[in-house]
């Protein structure tokens, strides 16, 4: 039977105290809604439907390039049952429907697959439950004498005895489309909030003798709902703990798993070591034996075997070859390519720079729009002046070039193999191979000169 997924994302999220729609608040650098959509896609559904309401325009704009989602607007927020009803006209009668929540971002595909399978096996309603020591505010699962699900009672409508129940409804359920539509049509709003609860279909199904299966998740943490920023932070930590455990199982040593943040994807070889406070963003690939020091940021970059990154370094959109060392306090910007055994030291910044094998820029330099050959030495204070206010220009430096301290290289410029640049020089024209270029003003020593403070006396 075909599967169609409805993701409820229409709530206002007033407890977040934010202008941004709740479902766009991020876990691991991505909106909560993105996490739920990605998990739903793992089940290979025929169609994905997202019900939006508060902040609908902003949400749809955020996903403008997401063609596999059908957007449904709930103009009035009249409860979860009403929200699902808005999506039902677009769903095939032959489908099984799975209902998810955009503010429950950690749910796993295995749990959802089990829920869908249970609905299919019995032809009834299947719902996911969780046992929690703190059930306040959540709907309680009331079971019959045989252990079947008899009803779900919302916290505000529960008796004292029902509030003592610790098994709670997660809101996630699956049912055949025709059955779900019929049960929703029977739901009323005679409750404290005057809303149409999706959970009320359980009572209707039980009364009609339709099987209702309750599946308790093995990991209640995956059912954590996010309603405020405290819960958002808790979900973030749970998500990052998952990432940390996956990395460690893949052979990565984390100095402190509680201080590791992955905001994208990580592929890592064996025996990598990542120190505390490291943030990995986008797509990051690490070879074997890579060392990343404390408080670094690595974004959309590839680091080959044996690369060392010293603390407080930012690497963004770079490719670093085997055995290179970077930092501390270095910044590699997009388009940087470092060859084998290169050295980029403290307070060195690169942008669209390619450095050949064995080249060193040990401290206090800027290399932008530059090609630097192999076995070069770039002295402290060296900069490539690549921007003339209108266009960017390239500096090309050959192999085995020595650039002295405080050199200013004004692009476009070619410095050929084996050339030397004298310290303190401003170089504006081509330097031939093995030549020494010196571009300094002649020094003058002025006898009897007095500093301004002494002149006033």
pLDDT in tens, 207-260: 999 999 999 998 989 999 999 999 999 999 999 999 999 999 999 999 999 999
- 454 band by pLDDT with thresholds 50, 70 and 90: low
For 210-336, strand residue ranges (E) read 212-216, 252-254, 260-268, 272-274, 278-286, 291-292, 297-299, 302-303, 308-309, 314-316, 319-320, 325-326, 331-332
| CA neighbor of 260 nearest in space, from 283, 282, 237 | 237
Q: What is the DSSP string of 159-218?
A: -HHHHT--EEEEEEEEEEHHHHHHHHHT----STT----TTHHHHHHHHTT--EEEEE-S
Helix (H/G/I), strand (E/B), else coil: 230? helix
| CA neighbor of 417 nearest in space, from 408, 404, 430 | 430
| Contact assessment for residue 383 and residue 365, using Cβ atoms and an 8 Å cutoff | yes
Integer Cα distance of 282 and 36 in angstroms: 18
In sequence order, what are the beta bridge partners of 92?
Answer: none
Structure tokens at 97: 């429907």
pLDDT in tens, 31-40: 999 999 999 9
234 exposure class (CB count in 10 Å sphere: 0-12, 13-18, 19+): middle
Catalytic pick from 25, 49, 82, 363? 363
Lowest mean pLDDT among 3-7, 203-207, 355-359: 203-207
Q: Is the pTM of this model over 0.85?
A: yes
7 exposure class (CB count in 10 Å sphere: 0-12, 13-18, 19+): buried
Length of the chain measured in residues: 457
Catalytic residue flag (residue 363): yes
To the nearest 10 degrees (0 to 180), the angle between helices 200-207 and 177-185 is 100
pLDDT in tens, 327-352: 999 999 999 999 999 999 999 999 99
Domains and their CATH numbers in the chain: 3-223 (3.90.550.10), 250-437 (2.160.10.10)
Alpha-carbon distances of 394 from 369, 381, 388, rounded to whole Å: 5, 19, 11
Question: What is the residue whose two structure tokens read 């055995």?
Answer: 323
């Amino acid at each position: 039977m075909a599967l169609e997924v409805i993701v409820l994302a229409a709530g206002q999220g007033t407890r977040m105290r934010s202008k941004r729609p709740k479902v766009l608040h991020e876990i691991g650098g991505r909106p909560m809604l993105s996490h739920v959509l990605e998990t739903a896609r793992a089940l290979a559904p025929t169609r994905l439907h997202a019900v939006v309401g508060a902040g609908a325009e902003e949400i749809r704009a955020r996903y403008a390039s997401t063609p596999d989602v059908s957007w449904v607007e709930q103009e009035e927020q009249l409860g979860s049952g009403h929200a699902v009803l808005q999506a039902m006209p677009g769903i095939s009668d032959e489908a099984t429907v799975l209902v998810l929540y955009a503010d429950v971002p950690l749910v796993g595909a295995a749990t959802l697959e089990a829920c869908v399978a249970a609905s299919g096996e019995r032809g009834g309603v299947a719902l996911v439950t969780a046992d929690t020591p703190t059930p306040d505010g959540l709907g309680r699962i009331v079971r019959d004498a045989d252990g079947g699900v008899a009803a779900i009672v919302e916290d505000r409508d529960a008796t004292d005895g029902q509030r003592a129940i610790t098994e709670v409804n997660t809101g996630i359920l699956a049912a055949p489309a025709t059955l779900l539509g019929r049960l929703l049509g029977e739901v009323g709003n005679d409750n404290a909030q005057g809303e149409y609860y999706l959970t009320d279909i359980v009572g209707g199904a039980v009364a009609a003798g339709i099987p209702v299966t309750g599946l308790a998740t093995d990991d209640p943490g995956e059912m954590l709902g996010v309603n405020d920023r405290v819960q958002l932070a808790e979900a973030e930590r749970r998500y990052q703990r998952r990432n940390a455990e996956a990395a460690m199982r893949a052979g990565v040593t984390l100095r402190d798993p509680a201080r590791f943040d992955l905001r994208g994807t990580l592929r890592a070889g064996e025996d990598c070591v990542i120190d505390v406070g490291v943030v990995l963003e986008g797509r990051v690939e690490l070879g074997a034996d890579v060392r990343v020091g404390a408080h670094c940021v690595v974004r959309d970059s590839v680091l080959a075997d044996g690369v060392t990154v010293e603390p407080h370094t930012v690497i963004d959109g770079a490719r670093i070859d085997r055995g290179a060392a970077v930092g501390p306090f270095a910044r590699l910007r997009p388009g940087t390519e470092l060859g084998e055994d290169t050295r980029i030291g403290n307070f060195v910044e690169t942008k669209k720079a390619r450095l050949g094998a064995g080249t060193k820029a040990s401290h206090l330099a800027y290399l932008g729009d530059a090609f630097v050959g192999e076995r070069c030495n770039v002295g402290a204070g060296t900069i490539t002046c690549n921007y003339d206010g209108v266009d960017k220009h390239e500096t090309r430096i050959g192999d085995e070039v020595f650039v002295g301290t405080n050199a200013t290289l004004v692009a476009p410029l070619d410095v050929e193999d084996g050339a030397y640049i004298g310290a303190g020089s401003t170089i504006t024209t081509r330097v031939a191979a093995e030549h020494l270029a010196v571009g300094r003003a002649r020094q003058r020593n002025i006898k009897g000169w007095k500093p301004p403070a002494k002149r006033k006396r």
